Amino acid sequence: MSGSIMFSGRHLLVGVVLIVLCGEMCLVCSGQELLDVWPALAPGETDASPGEILPFRAEESPRVTRISGIRRPTITVHLAERPDGRSVLILPGGGFRRVVTDKEGTEVAAWLNSLGISAFVLRYRTTDGAEPDPWRRPLQDAQRAMALIRSRAVAWKLNADRIGVAGFSAGGQLAARLLCDRGHLHYEPIDQIDSQKHSPSFALLIYPWNLYDEKTDRLIPEAEVPSGCPPVFLVHTHDDKASSLSAVMFYAGLKKRDIPAELHIYQTGGHGYGLRQVPGSGISTWTDHAGRWLNGLSESSPGQQRP
């Protein structure tokens, strides 16, 4: 009987440890730093909920972590072991109702770290579906996060002129809005951090979601490529129900303005794959192309636009 009680207690202890590891303490144990995006409540918020992890989907292996109800946006810091000065703010997807923190977040950070690029995963605020502009609060968080990273560039051994953004799905739309905002802040500056430039130096848009408006057969107005847009790498699939015309037309806008860019459209792969393999598709090879593109930007001549 005592052995049975001890066994149950041991499992209880393991359960408690796993719960802790699934929360923010996991970041501390793994050497990652968790930072608040805002010094107090985020603009327009009345609480600071970090959100909740939604139930895992049985058909997904490996599991995918989705967090909803986020009112306290944060970034996790993933510094490269051998940094080369480049860094990337990662904007996961989730339809603005949730944030996919691993498949489109930490897994991407690990890949970038392997290239010598430091990474920062943003858990931006999510919507309950009632607001007319569900992208607005996430864009505020992304603008503030970019400025925050630049403000700490020296401490993190980053080159402030080589800070990019990588957006997936809804995060891809968010990244496009960030590229095209022409320096306009969507919130009132609150401190010295907001004096930092929030524009990315380069971007990766991976299956960007809903940049294309079927009704007008054009990009949404907020994604019209400006003349000062930095270099962009784009990936989509032909069979993605979130139409690849988003990536194609954004690329066309870049091409018209002679902005360095690279576009890859795969026949199959669907949507929401992150870096993971999809049976019957070569979509997981996009990181090979992206790695070469990123290194090509680093090696560009002084007369070219570069991160």
The mean pLDDT value of the chain amounts to 89
Q: Which of 17-31, 64-78, 95-109 has the lowest mean pLDDT?
A: 17-31
Could you tell me whether strands 212-213 and 218-219 are parallel, antiparallel, or unpaired per DSSP bridges? antiparallel
Alpha carbon distance 181, 220 (integer Å): 13
Closest Cα partner for 202 from 302, 295, 103, 76?
295
Query: pTM for the full model?
Result: 0.88
> Is 86:71 a contact under the CB 8 Å cutoff?
no
Give percent above pLDDT 70 in the chain: 87
Which DSSP letter does residue 47 get? -
- Other beta carbons within 10 angstroms of residue 7's beta carbon come to 10
pLDDT at 155 over 50: yes
According to the 3-state scheme, what is the secondary structure of 265-303?
Answer: EECCCCCCCCCCCCCCCCHHHHHHHHHHHHHHHHCCCCC
What's the rounded mean pLDDT across residues 138-163? 97
Which DSSP letter does residue 105 get? I
Note the Cα 297 to chain centre separation in Å.
Answer: 20
